[in-house]
Amino acid sequence: MKVIQTALDGVLILEPRVFEDERGLFYESYHASRYTEVLNQPIQFVQDNHSHSVQHVLRGLHLQTRKPQGKLIQVVRGAIFDVAVDLRPKSTTYAQWFGLELTAVSHQQLWIPSGFAHGFLTLSETADVHYKVTDYYDPGYELSLRWDDPTIQIRWPTSESVQLSDKDRDAMTLQQIMDQFATDH
């Protein structure tokens, strides 16, 4: 497996070894001991999620505060623009983002450790995204960061209007999240 470090500490692009011929293809999408070695830490995934979206749907940016989730993301059909935003307060890359086009054809995966907000925009007509997480989803601990936050300034690859859920439409700015943490702690 090829491992590519991104500009955000801990966020990795993983390229599994693909065996392909005229019959089709095969690759290991997850192998516990290899991923423990590559990520340099034991990882225990507790939940698998599957998301199906139509073009221009933007999901996120989501973060769990008290039950943070590391995520291993891959596209099994279509294409997305996947984004991680570093929200670890003591990180040298705090409030910086990384984006990558993930496709079913490339077989690339994105590892996002806990402490990052995550979201994606569907680029193809439809997309199926599969991701493994390291803690259970708990809506009581979820925050949504605005996809168009003026501080972070993510450059999404579209000039079309995006489709958002009500939760994502009502998401907080980074400043609102920082203010909430200041009053909660």
Positions annotated as catalytic residues are 62, 131
Which residues have C-beta within 8 Å of that of residue 98, sequence separation ≥ 6? Answer: 6, 7, 8, 11, 83, 84
Tell me the C-alpha distance between 148 and 173, whole Å. Answer: 9
Distance CA 4, CA 19 (A): 20
Q: How many CB atoms lie within 10 A of CB 117?
A: 26
Instruction: Report the distance separating Cα 177 and Cα 76, nearest Å.
Output: 33
